[in-house]
Amino acid sequence: MHRRGLRGMYISKKAFRRHFDPCLYPDETYLLCELWWNGNETSWKHWVRNDVNHAEEYFLQEIFEPRSYGFCNITWYLSWSPCWSCCNKIRDFLRRHPNVSIDIHVARLYYSDYTRNQRGLRELEGLQRVTIQVMEEEDYHYCWETFLETDVYYDFLPENFGPAIRRYRLMLENILEDHRL
């Protein structure tokens, strides 16, 4: 299996702070993921960033290993929301894997004024096995504790993200509300 772009379970605190701070606009997309099979209490954790492909596409094509048994719940924490093309790839992936659901948490919206990206998010959110939401303060703390090494001190205050979180949450709600009308 091609493993270019594959990363270990932990990302650096500096990378997390830079790429998930909703007040910054880095060029790369980071995807932190947890998978639970059959309601198991132990999850599989990993992360990728976009190297050659978009992070979502890379995860779906190169990281996810389907199992013919049981249900899989995937949780993604993305530094940017999926673009329209990745939304289509996620939809196609879910059609091929009816035993998978995906919960998507995003730090910021990717070109939220582009009609194609808005439509992609609405169509994706309209699927029964998908949820899309903006990362909240507790999500940042969870990721900090779950995906980052704990042996290095680095100041992290997601409380300062409040205005950006509220702005992105409202933007996403407005995009998705157009689908529900």
Catalytic machinery residues = 56
Measured between alpha carbons, how far is 135 from 105 in angstroms, rounded to an integer?
5
21 C-beta neighbours (distance < 10 Å), count: 19
CB-based contact 20:139 (threshold 8 Å): no
Continuous segment of H or E residues that includes residue 73: strand 72-78
Largest CA distance in the chain: 49
Q: Residue 23 corresponds to which tokens in the numbers above? A: 């007040």
Q: Residue 47 corresponds to which tokens in the numbers above? A: 């992360």
